[in-house]
Amino acid sequence: MKQFLIKPYRWAILFSCLLPACFAFVLLDTFVIPRALEPAAISAEADSSAMESAESGSTTSTAEQESEEAASSAAITDTSYEDEQIQITIDTEKTDNTTFYVADIQVSDASYLKTALAGDTYGRNIKAATSETAGSNGAILAINGDYYGFRDEGYVLRNGVLYRDTARNSEEDDALVIDIEGNFSIISENETSLSSIDTSSIAQILSFGPSLIEDGEITVDGSSEVSRSMSGNPRTAIGQIDPLHYIIIVSDGRTSESEGLSLLELAEEMQERGAETAYNLDGGGSSTLYFNGEIINNPTDGREMGEREVSDIVYIGY
């Protein structure tokens, strides 16, 4: 080996072999290799049961019992769910060139609006289909979240647990804040550090965007678009109409049957239905609407049909 390394060109050969290997490892580590990460912090008044669930990967027996009791007494159809605590109706709408689905949701308590991480684990490249994560958490209705695991920046606070406090840098990087009363608000990550707000009063922070509606007014225009995205896309968005009254819109797109919605069109549909605050979540191949054990929309990335595995979901359940 010593004799091999004496020749200068042999160092070049060795370097040319190591460089691609290192590059390949970086790519694998960034996009493929699953890695669990530690939470940044825990909100001071966060529900302790939420943290126990995040750590153990299981829901509490109390929640399971409530879910079973509610399901046994619920009135359920293909497009609706109603029990004493949760009411959901889903309508299928059609524009000239796009099919989309509108879920109207009313709950008696903010605790029924939840989030869940794929594999009940926070980390990089830890993914599962929306339907899989929804099923394992007993969700009645679920949508894909913000796919936090695809980025190293962007606030991540879920069910009272702060996982990531690193802000995105652009002025256009809005985050959706859901407080413990279930009310929505929008913050600019570039202008609002988590150290400047009371995170103990926050249940969820989702980091994708942009904001679609604030105070009942549309906040995007015809030129607004997510980076590298086409104007018409599969979309997922969530909004608030009144206290404990929410709306979700998921659109099909990138097919000959359904082109998809622009951000402005999505905002207009939200506003038309009374949303005071609305926020765009991850779209494209991630957009998925799950209801009563079934996928309602037609997920696709434009190349093949089917769910994309994602890092997280937003859901309604016990």
Query: What is the tens place of the pLDDT at every residue in 173-231?
Result: 999 999 999 999 999 999 999 999 999 999 999 999 999 999 999 999 877 777 555 56
What share of the chain has pLDDT > 90, as a percent?
70
Reported pTM = 0.83
Domain that holds residue 237: 39-316
25 with 150, same domain: the answer is no
53 with 5, same domain: the answer is no
The reported pLDDT for the residue numbered 45 is 44
8 with 129, same domain: the answer is no
For residue 63, name the pLDDT band (cuts at 50, 70, 90). Answer: low
The reported pLDDT for the residue numbered 47 is 47
The reported pLDDT for the residue numbered 296 is 98
Nearest to 46 by CA among 172, 198, 224, 215: 198
For residue 50, name the pLDDT band (cuts at 50, 70, 90). Answer: very low
The reported pLDDT for the residue numbered 282 is 97
1 with 125, same domain: the answer is no
Rounded Cα distance, 86 and 318, in Å: 10
Alpha helices in 172-316 (DSSP H): 263-272
153 with 10, same domain: the answer is no
Specify whether the CB–CB gap between 83 and 74 falls below 8 A. yes
Total number of domains in the chain: 2
